[in-house]
Chains A and B, each alone.
Chain A
Amino acid sequence: MWRDAWLVAAKDLRIEVRSRVVLNQVVPFAVVVLGLFAFALGPDRTPMVQGAAGLFWVAVLFAAVLAIQRSFAVESSDEARDGLRLSGLDPAGVFLGKTAAVAAELVALEVLLSAGVVLLYGSHVHSWGTVVVAGVVGTAGLAAVGILYGALAAGLRVRETLLPFLLLPALAPVLLAGTRAWQAGLGTGPGGDSADPWVSLLAVFAVVYLALGVVIFGPLQEGG
């Protein structure tokens, strides 16, 4: 399972390195979203600094939808999806591999976005540990749910409209917990708010969906 996961993740990341679709299209999109939030909030810095944590995670969620669509778009041509199913790779490995690849892309995107939040919104990071851990753990859960719904919607004619509708409400806990953890990390949250329960919530979310994916990805890929 782990070897298969590694193979699939390496394949997806290699495609990304060669095609640079996420880097050239998804990352700029996420930065544009940050800019749009700034326009919506007005030129005053205070609401931006206050809302920076939430706006960051909303931008990540939007970018995640695109990254997940991309992750399944690379398999839509040349019957690549059937090839993957015929390859004899463990479905759990395929799930973990695709999740890892999307998570890696999103973490890279988050690094750039947090630089954007610091530069454009003028936020200050109080606790790097919290920000990094919440970012990584939250992204793992987000990618796991995304790959599950992505596989569900792959191949449907309505996938572009269906995926965000299915995915975004399911990711509400990540947005809530990620925002609260980041608020603590950026020092903009309610006074004395600890990030620990929110980071553990993100961890529970990630573990639950990674486990569910390992179990359910096989049946999901059986036919159709």
Chain B
Amino acid sequence: MSGAVDSLVRRRVRGAVGVAALVSLAVTVWLGLWVTPPDVKQGQLVRLVYIHPPIAWVALYLAFGTAAVGSLLWLWPRTRSRVWDSLAAASMEVGVVFTALTLVTGSIWGRPTWGVWWAWDARLTSTALLLVLQLGYLALRRVPAAPDVRARRCAVAAVIAGVDVPIVHFSVDWWRTLHQSATVLNPDLTPTIHGSMAWTLLLGFVAMSLVFVWMLLVRYRIEVLAARCEGVELEVSLRERWAEAAPPELAHR
């Protein structure tokens, strides 16, 4: 299993995904900033729409979903493998970046629209809570422990947090809402915006998803390499110290 996944993340695949992400992102920027017209109501501000919802989609669904599924697969004894632990950790860490970006882009949009950087709006609040839950996972991840113990702790924490996310979403939604409802992913799946804007937004989703996958692959690779180095550091340092201290003929024991 780990062999198959490792071959998937070979340099060539990573490179291809990276190039695809860069190209689609560049085209999104070009379409978003130059080709599409300003909105009737929101003016130039509408251009944030091409990146904010895609970033939020990656943060709330792709990244958190991957982390939750990875954690569940680790917890399930039959599919337990370090691959899933590394994948969940990588996904959570990349997810933090996207969740933070969701809040930042939302804030930049909110300032001219609502007149404030931060409103206690339902989705802002639940996204902020998600960010704190993700940071909690990373904090737990940093606690030194044997790889298996750490994997178990982190998987359980991800599941507890994962169950919390929909509840947080509903409770905060009831609590207060002044956010506009979903535009493209509304239940009947008929986009309520048209023409070049819809295509640019769609491309934005593709681009951000590709960026996420690329970052995930790179981060996963780092995780695998770090796991390989674990425990080796001390051994290397000890060898170096011995080499310094011991007379030359004993240095290469």
Residue positions of A touching B, CB distance < 8 A = 145, 148-149, 152, 156-158, 162, 165-166, 169-170, 172-173, 176-177, 180, 197-198, 201, 204-205, 208-209, 212, 216, 219-220, 222-224
Contact = CB atoms under 8 A, between A and B. Distances in A.
18 contacts: A148-B160, A149-B157, A162-B136, A165-B135, A166-B139, A169-B129, A173-B167, A173-B168, A197-B174, A201-B170, A212-B163, A216-B159, A219-B75, A219-B152, A219-B156, A223-B152, A224-B145, A224-B152
Main secondary structure of the interface of B (DSSP, over half): helix
B172 interface: yes
Nearest to A167: B136
B177 to A, nearest CB: 13
Nearest to B131: A169
A222 B174 CA distance: 39
* Complex A-B, nearest 4 residue pairs according to Cβ-Cβ distance, in ascending order: A224-B149, A173-B171, A169-B132, A166-B136
A172 B143 contact: no
B133 A170 contact: yes
Contact of B159 (A172, A201, A212, A223): A212
B81 to A, nearest CB: 15
Contacts of B219: none
Nearest to B170: A201
Interface in B143-191: 143, 145-146, 148-149, 152-153, 156-157, 159-161, 163-164, 167-168, 170-172, 174-175
Contacts of A170: 133, 160-161, 164
Interface residues on B, range: 20 to 34
A162 B140 contact: yes
Interface of B: 75, 129, 132-133, 135-136, 139-140, 143, 145-146, 148-149, 152-153, 156-157, 159-161, 163-164, 167-168, 170-172, 174-175
Contacts of A197: 174
Contact of B136 (A165, A198, A216): A165
Contacts of A208: 163, 167
Main secondary structure of the interface of A (DSSP, over half): helix
B248 to A, nearest CB: 41
A148 B157 CA distance: 9
A162 B145 CA distance: 15
Contacts of A145: 160, 164
Contacts of A204: 167
B160 A169 contact: no
A216 B75 contact: yes
Contacts of A209: 160, 163
A149 B160 contact: yes
Nearest to A158: B143
Contacts of A169: 129, 132-133, 136
Nearest to A177: B171
Contacts of B145: 224
Contacts of B161: 170
